[in-house]
Structure 1
Amino acid sequence: MPDEFVNVRYMVDDVEAAVDFYTRHLGFTLLSSAAPAFADVTRGRLRLLLSGPASSAGGPMPDGRVPGPGGWNRIHLVVPDLAAEVARLRAAGLAFRNDVVTGPGGRQILLEDPSGNPVELFQPAAA
């Protein structure tokens, strides 16, 4: 399994809420769960490790800092119709950090998971 997936770890406040968010709204599949400490979900070759405060990854660093959710690093999911995805997710009551931004490569928006971790939804510009 080491080369089968690209692995990304997100710190989350509630593992079960995170699993529900990613599987219900973004098409991920539950791979394993040791909730409330940890679960991992997959979408294609992406394996998202969801680590709660009780996980080994949630322990304090030697200087006392404690890992937590949020920040600006994010997973990037390509979608065929950004407007439709945004409408669907807003109708489900989900939170966004911004409005759609258009750049030379396409259009994007930042969705937040239940712990405040960003998920970039991106529609490439037409070729």
Structure 2
Amino acid sequence: MPSEKCSRAEDLRARGLSVADIAEELHVTRQRVRQLLATARTERQRERSPDPFARLSVRTANGLKAEFLYVRKQSLTVDTVAEALVTGRLHSVRNLGKKSVEEIERWLEALRGPLGERDLLRPASDPHLSPP
């Protein structure tokens, strides 16, 4: 989701204001307005992407790819990430700090709704835990 300033710049641009007018309104430079508009555009594209991993920050997505594809030699899926989170293995992944893990938790929670009743936060490997 774009920041408040990015969204405000987008709204003003949609109303027909020039970059110079938006800069004056937001008390930033014209170059900063261009950056805000570009950031908002990128964020909107990421939100619309069918790839759920596109919704993660680049750093977090790259950390997950490196860990699962190259270190563990296993496929990177939402289920494998959820299982790693529940089992605590995600906390030992190189280059994934506290903020990345918190981002993954929010990301999994957001994905939970569109995927229906299936509970992504239960390990897939435990047959005793069935979906609710």
Which structure carries more helix by proportion? 2
TM-score band by shorter chain is under 0.3
Q: TM-score, normalised by structure 2?
A: 0.26
Q: TM-score, normalised by structure 1?
A: 0.27
Q: Which has the higher contact order (CA 8 A, sep 6+)?
A: 1
